[in-house]
Structure 1
């Protein structure tokens, strides 16, 4: 994840590493089309709105929605995720702005819809998890 990271509030280095690690794991799960790995990054009671505008409540819903999408219309879609901003909301709760750039399977940028996502990542008993968020498809200029 290259580029300049804006940090607002007190986000210690170990928290930055943990939260950006969640995003890196999410990118890996998307690119390998692993719905279970992707879902494992969400809290049990997460609230997620996908790029199609569908609200998914809970980890199970994220997995059940992602599995057919990753094997279906997204099977040839790959992306690079870049964390652009971390905002400390409260102790152990971080808002994370992420840009998503479409790539080929080898990670080279390609034409296609970009993404702009907001994840709320919180420390839970099982580690740092996405507890809320929204993914938006945007044109390339809006993503810059």
Structure 2
């Protein structure tokens, strides 16, 4: 994750690091095709809508869906996740805008659908976790 992050509201440095760490761990889990590690980034009662518009409720459902998806249609998909904005919503709750760039397995950008995700990350009993979010497929940004 590189580039300037827009921070709106009071997001302390330690919170910023924790929230960014969740995004980094999610990216790593996706690229390793590790559904359990991916699911662990979500809260127990999280609500997630994937890029195909399917809503999944709960950490277990997210991991359960992800396992076969990563073994089939996402098997050869990799991405770089870049935090572009942090918005303080309430104490211990931050909205995170993430730009997703398709890559090959080595991390080199490739042609393909990009993503724009919104994660709501909150401090939970077991650490910072995504409690709600949506992933959207978007056209690649223009080069001009």
TM-score if structure 1 supplies the norm length? 0.98
Q: CA deviation at 1:141?
A: 2.2
CA distance in 1, matches of 2:6, 2:115: 18
Gaps of at least 5 residues in structure 2 are none
Backbone CA RMSD of aligned residues: 1.1
CA distance in 1, matches of 2:119, 2:14: 18
Report 1:37-116 matches (<5 A): 37-116=37-116
- Please identify runs of 4+ aligned residues in structure 1 that moved more than 6 A: none
CA distance in 2, matches of 1:67, 1:52: 16
Which SS does the other structure have where 1:140 is aligned? coil
Aligned residue pairs total 143
Gaps of at least 5 residues in structure 1 are none
CA distance in 1, matches of 2:13, 2:141: 31
**1:67-98 CA-partner distances (Å, limit 9, x unpaired):** 01011100000000000000000000000000
**Counterpart in 1 of 2:22?**
22
